[in-house]
Amino acid sequence: MTTVNNATPEQRLASSRQAIVSYMTRQGDDSGSGEGAFGHSANHAGGSSVTSVWKALRRATLAWWRHHPAHLAIDVAVGMAKPVLGKYAHQKPLQLLGISAAVGAAAVLVRPWRLVSVTGLLLATVKSSGLTPALLSLISAPPEPTDTSESFEGPPRAE
C-alpha cells in the first residue's frame, strides 16, 4: 500500500473511512484486544467453540449476579464503607493494617466457609429468582454487529 504522503485523495479518503469503521467497531472494548463491542474480532466473525462457551457462561453469570439480592447489598455496603475506610486509612494507616490482619487471622481460625454446606449453596442458587435471566442469557446469542463499511456511500462526488 502507498504511504499516506504519496496517496491520492481517494486513497486517503478510503483509508480514513476504514479507520473510522474500525474505531467504531472497537468502541465498547476497553481491553485493546482488537475485539468489537460484542466480543467479536473485527477480522474473525466466528470464534472457537471453547471461547464461545466461556463467553456464554460469563454472560449468564453476570446476568445472574445482576439480579441477585446480595448484589445490591454489597453495592450499598461498599458505597458506604469506602469513604469511611478511606478517611480512616489516611488518618491511621498502620492501625487499619493491624485490624485487617486480625480479621484475616480470625477468619482463618474460625473457618466460616465450613459452616455452610455446598448442597445448601446449590439449593439456594436454584431457588433464586435470578436463575431464570441467567439461563435465558446462557441460551440466547449475543447480538451480531452490523458491518457498515459496505453500506456507507459517502458524499456525492463533484464531476
pLDDT per position as a tens digit, 131-154: 667 666 667 766 565 555 555 555
Rounded to 5°, the CA angle 71-72-76 comes to 120
* Pair (60, 126) in one structural domain: yes
Distance of CA 113 to the CA centre of its chain: 28
146 lies in some domain: no
* Pair (84, 107) in one structural domain: yes
SS3 111: coil
Q: Give CA–CA dist 37/156, Å, rounded.
A: 30
Residue whose C-alpha is closest to residue 145's, from 27, 18, 28, 37: 37
* Pair (85, 126) in one structural domain: yes
Query: % helix / strand / coil in the chain, to the nearest 5?
Result: 60, 0, 35
Domain residue limits at 21: 1-45
* pLDDT tens digits, one per residue of 62-86: 888 887 778 888 888 888 888 888 8
Q: Is the pLDDT of residue 101 over 90?
A: yes
Place of cell 475506610: 85
* Pair (35, 77) in one structural domain: no
* Pair (55, 8) in one structural domain: no
For residue 41, list its beta bridge partners.
Answer: 35
* Pair (10, 72) in one structural domain: no
158 lies in some domain: no
Q: Show the cell assigned to 143.
A: 447480538
